[in-house]
Amino acid sequence: MTVSEEKFTRQRLLEVQTLTPSLFTLRTTRDPGFRFTAGQFARLGVRKPSGSIVWRAYSMVSAPHDEFLDFFSIVVPDGEFTSELSRLEPGGELLIDKQAFGFLTLDRFPDGRDLWLLATGTGLAPFLSILQDFEVWQRFERIVLVYSARTESELAYQQLIRELPEREYLEGLGSKLTYLPVVTREQVSGTLNGRITKLIETGELERAADLKLEPEHSRIMLCGNPQMIEDTRALLKTRDLNLALTRRPGQVAVENYW
């Protein structure tokens, strides 16, 4: 089978950056024919010494227009994929599916004024891709990024988040963004403390954003561990904020992600 007939392309690992003992980022080359919508994910493959391939899905952190692909990962103890990946050095080969997947994209919402992006852990990845694409800044009047981690050291991509609103192509639209970092296991100045569900229940999240969560105007994306998503969805449903489905418009879109 030739490469053109295969469902993946062979890319080079450009960079691996260790953030904490359990978190790392990686950058790869990008096939010129690979297309994706901000918020989608791709399957990455690592070939084992035996010749078999280990696959794992990762959301793109990079923008759809970037010439490279960025990914954000957690180290899975004894995990097959990250164990194989740890053996690679820059220049090593990674396989990437030719097709992108996922529905955590802005076209889930045909309307809405305010966009809330609620992430835990590596669930931040698709939101960074969305925020690096111009469409979100055109469509919404307010954008609230809520990023929850256990400790301050696990809050990744802080420089990118700070710099995003200042990018020239936004032409002043960067003021639409409100960034609310959340740390659950430490008291850290300048961050909220507590689980996202608690912050919604107490009203603290809305007060910090100076914005109401309401069915008419709010559109909400959730990405992170499944328990957070399940609990937050249930809480939002009590406020008439419901899942957006193909046949039923709603206010909430989700992606389970560790």
Residue 184 identity:
T
pLDDT of 1: 47
Tens-digit pLDDT profile for residues 136-185:
999 999 999 999 999 999 999 999 999 999 999 999 999 999 999 999 99
Report how far residue 245's alpha carbon sits from residue 110's, in angstroms, rounded to the nearest whole number.
12
Report how far residue 124's alpha carbon sits from residue 147's, in angstroms, rounded to the nearest whole number.
7
Tens-digit pLDDT profile for residues 16-36:
999 999 999 999 999 999 999
State yes or no: pLDDT of 3 exceeds 80.
no
User: Which is it for strands 8-20 and 93-97: parallel, antiparallel or unpaired?
Assistant: antiparallel
Tens-digit pLDDT profile for residues 31-83:
999 999 999 999 999 999 899 999 999 999 999 999 999 999 998 888 999 88
Report how far residue 251's alpha carbon sits from residue 238's, in angstroms, rounded to the nearest whole number.
13
State yes or no: pLDDT of 5 exceeds 70.
no
Phi, then psi, of 26 in degrees rounded to 5: -140, 150
State yes or no: pLDDT of 219 exceeds 60.
yes
> What does R_g of the chain's alpha carbons equal in angstroms?
19
State yes or no: pLDDT of 258 exceeds 80.
no
pTM of the model as a whole: 0.95
pLDDT of 257: 61
State yes or no: pLDDT of 104 exceeds 60.
yes
Report how far residue 194's alpha carbon sits from residue 189's, in angstroms, rounded to the nearest whole number.
13
pLDDT of 25: 95
Residue 257: both structure tokens together: 């992600």
Tens-digit pLDDT profile for residues 224-257:
999 999 999 999 999 999 999 888 889 999 987 6
CB-based burial label for 35 (10 Å; 0-12, 13-18, 19+): exposed
